[in-house]
Amino acid sequence: MIDLVLALLSGAVGGLIIAFMPQCGSRLRNVVALSSSAAGAIFSWRVAGAVLAGRTIRIAGTNGGLAWSLHPDPLGVVFALIASTLWLFAAVYSFGYMAGEERQRTYYTYFLLALSVTLGVAFSGNLVSLYLFYELLTLVTYPLVIHERTEEAMKAGTKYIVYSLSGAGAILIAIVITYSLTGNLDFGGGALLADVSPGPGLGWALALFVAGFGVKAAVIPLHRWLPQAMVAPTPISALLHAVAVVYSGVYGILRVVYSVFGHELIGQLGFSHILPWIAAFTILVGVIIATQQDVLKRRLAYHTISQLSYILLGAFTLHPWGLAGAILHMISYSTLKVTLFFGAGIIAKQTGKVNVSEMSGVGRQLPGTLTAFGIASLGMIGMMPLNTFWSKYYLMKGSVAWGKSPLALVLIVSGIINAFCFIPTVVTAFTGEMRQPVANKERDARLMLVPTLLLAGIALLIGLCPGLVWPGVDAVINRFF
């Protein structure tokens, strides 16, 4: 119980300390940021340990006829673990990346607040709390998106907030529909709507939920904010726009499918049979668009769009294996994508190069970075020694077992396009001619490089021994099936 509260508060407290600390030095600020994200991670791990061991942790209350509740279940703690662990890495990376930047105080304040809110999303035990933290996440991350304060950044921020709030509006309607059907919004028991007979109201609710959370999950017609939000500093792009924020959308959809509707009911709604194809469409189109982008971060952004739909695909298969794939992909993809973003950030900082076409030869200047980048690229394809293989494997298995083998083919095709997307970059980075002189050689990149390499290592380790993360996956499956 106390762990849960501490996990939730650690980020917020750190953020507020930084916000109200009078003109502190960067060293002190870094210490606060590191310790509060470390605290968030540690307490999340403790919560996770307790939850996976089968204990119930629940804090709940009612507020004006609306119950709120914090009640982490396996799915929630998996998300919380991913987020809080990666936050730690991103914090360390930020120390290197943000050194010498303007507006660091604002940056770290919101960076840490976002940790709390993300954990809130993960731990929320009913739809109202989920909605609350989902909305707050938008607001807290907005200042991070517009951190550069350029016109482009402001535009991106506006787009981000408009998309997110519209999505949240759709979710609100859907929540109210759910509430009017059942009068209960708690995730604690079985699926909320399990006893409701299928009808048009349910179809609307599902459509609104998916559309609402789909905004943050960047499902294709609703994805436009994501590539533009990449004007944010790299740690933010890495953490928020590849993991925390977009995962809150994905997590929401997983919740909706398994906790609100339940896989049995949702299978009876005709609409649910269209959903995996939307995900498949997003997977393919996203990655194809990604291959055509020249700006590396934009490429990564479109690639994110594609990869997020892997998770959704797994969720929509309504099969234990598909769900296992989705959870595994949440874990694996986040490590790899953060690695990729970190790599892109280091390249941009150290050489000033942001375009793929300029990157020939940077591998010789930054071998460690590009090695990590290369490993992550291979992972994105779904090659064996990396953790994404397992997620892909279970995703495919889920779709085959569900009787939709073409979806497995979609994953294969997407894998090969992924190869086209990143491999040439890495190869030319190592083998190509260096076209321009190096911009910024003196900067000490160790603070950035160490988390990057560590993450790549973790990805490899999980790939070799998926048993490391399997208890979490297993618990999630047992929770819902």
Partner 1 sequence: MTATIISNLPVFVVIAPLFVAFVLSTFARRIRLVESLVIAVLALGVLGAGYLASLVLMQNGIPITYSMGGWPAPWGIELVAGSLSAFFLLLVSGVSLPVALFTVANMTHEVGGSVRTTRFYVLYLLLAGALAGMAVTNDLFNVFVLVEVATLSCCGLVSACKHPRAAEAAFNYLILATLGSALILGGIGFLYIITGHLNMGFASMELCRIWQDYPHVVWIAGGFLLVGFGVKSALFPLHVWLPDAHSTAPSPASAILSGLAVKGYMICFIKVLYNVFGATLIQEFALDRILSLLGMVAIIAGSLFAVAQDELKRRLAFSTVAQVGYVFLGLGQVNVCSLTGTLFHIASHAVIKSGLFLAAGAIIAATGKTRISEMAGIGGRMPITMAAFTIGSLGMVGIPLFSGFIGKWHLLSGSLTAGSTLAPLVIVIGSVLAAAYLFPIIRTAYFEQAQATDGQDPGAPQRIALILLAAGVVILGVAPGPFLELASRAAVELLAIK
Partner 2 sequence: MLLILLPSIPLLGAFALLAVGDKDVNMPFIASSITLSLAGWGLRGVFRGEQLTYTLPFSGPYSPTFQADILSCVFVFLAAFLWWAVSIYTPEYMKKEGRARSFDISTLLTLSAVLGVFLAGDLFTMLLFFELMTISSYFWVIHRRNEEAIRAGYFYLFFSIFGGLLLALGIVFITTATNGLPALGRGSIPPVEPRIFAWGLAAIVAGFGIKAGMVPLHLWLPHAHSVSPTPASALLSGLLIKVGAYGLIRTGELAGWGLQWGNTTAWLGPALTILGSCTMLLGVIAALLQSDAKRLLAYHSVSQMGYIILGLGICLFLGNAGGLSLIGAIYHIVNHALFKAALFLGVGIIYVRTGETNLYNLGGLLRNFPVTALLMFLAVLGITGAPGLNGYASKTLLHHAVSAAAETGLPLMVWAERLFVLVGVGTATSFAKLYYLIFLGRPAKVEISECESRRFHVSMVILAIVMLGIGLLPGLIPQILAVPAAQALGIKGFAAGIDHLAFGNANDVVSALITLGLGAVACRVGLATGVFHWTPPLWLTLEGLGSILCHSLRVVGRVANESYASVVRLISSMGRAIRLSVSSAYRKMNNSTDGALGSITLPGISADAALLMMTLAILIACYTCIDLQLPNLRLPLSFPAWNIFQQLPH
Q: Which residues bind partner 1 (CB under 8 A)?
A: 63-66, 128, 131-132, 135-136, 139, 143, 146, 149, 154, 157-158, 161-162, 165-166, 169-170, 172-173, 176-177, 179-180, 204
Task: Indicate the residue among 55 and 149 with the shorter CB distance to partner 1.
Answer: 149
Contact letters for partner 2, residues 325-364 (x by CB under 8 A): ----------------------------------------
Asked if 382 and 419 touch (Cβ cutoff 8 Å), the reply is no
Report the candidate in 83, 16, 13 with the shortest Cα–Cα distance to residue 47: 83
Query: If 0-12 CB within 10 Å is exposed, 13-18 middle and 19+ buried, where does residue 173 land?
Result: middle
List 420, 436, 478, 481, residue binding partner 2 (CB under 8 A): 420
User: What tokens does 305 get?
Assistant: 């769009």
Q: Which amino acid is at 242?
A: A
Task: Indicate the residue among 136 and 413 with the shorter CB distance to partner 1.
Answer: 136
Task: Indicate the residue among 164 and 452 with the shorter CB distance to partner 1.
Answer: 164
Rounded to a whole number of angstroms, the minimum distance from the CB of residue 424 to partner 2 is 7
Asked if 206 and 198 touch (Cβ cutoff 8 Å), the reply is no
User: What tokens does 342 get?
Assistant: 């970190």
Q: Crossing angle, helix 405-431 and helix 387-401, to 10 degrees? A: 160
Residues from 449 through 478 that contact partner 2 (CB under 8 A): 464-471
- What is the separation of C-alpha 71 from the centre of its chain, rounded to a whole number of angstroms? 21
Q: Which stretch binds partner 2 (CB under 8 A): 91-99, 133-141, 249-257, 408-416?
A: 408-416
Task: Indicate the residue among 11 and 286 with the shorter CB distance to partner 2.
Answer: 286
Contact letters for partner 2, residues 366-385 (x by CB under 8 A): ------------x--xxxxx
- Which of the listed partners (partner 2, partner 1, none) does 143 bind, with a CB threshold of 5 to 8 Å by partner kind? partner 1
Asked if 190 interacts with partner 2 (CB under 8 A), we say: no
**In 383-445, which ranges are continuous DSSP H helix?**
387-401, 405-431
Say how far apart CA 333 and CA 331 lie, in whole Å.
Answer: 6
- Which of the listed partners (partner 1, partner 2, none) does 172 bind, with a CB threshold of 5 to 8 Å by partner kind? partner 1
Asked if 230 and 292 touch (Cβ cutoff 8 Å), the reply is no
Task: Indicate the residue among 28 and 165 with the shorter CB distance to partner 1.
Answer: 165
Report the candidate in 391, 392, 385, 430 with the shortest Cα–Cα distance to residue 414: 392
Asked if 280 and 407 touch (Cβ cutoff 8 Å), the reply is yes
List 281, 424, 438, 447, residue binding partner 2 (CB under 8 A): 424
Task: Indicate the residue among 161 and 450 with the shorter CB distance to partner 1.
Answer: 161
- Which of the listed partners (partner 2, partner 1, none) does 232 bind, with a CB threshold of 5 to 8 Å by partner kind? none
Task: Indicate the residue among 169 and 201 with the shorter CB distance to partner 2.
Answer: 201
List 171, 269, 279, 445, residue binding partner 2 (CB under 8 A): 269
Measured in degrees and rounded to the nearest 5, phi and psi for residue 124 equal -65, 140
Say how far apart CA 364 and CA 345 lie, in whole Å.
Answer: 17
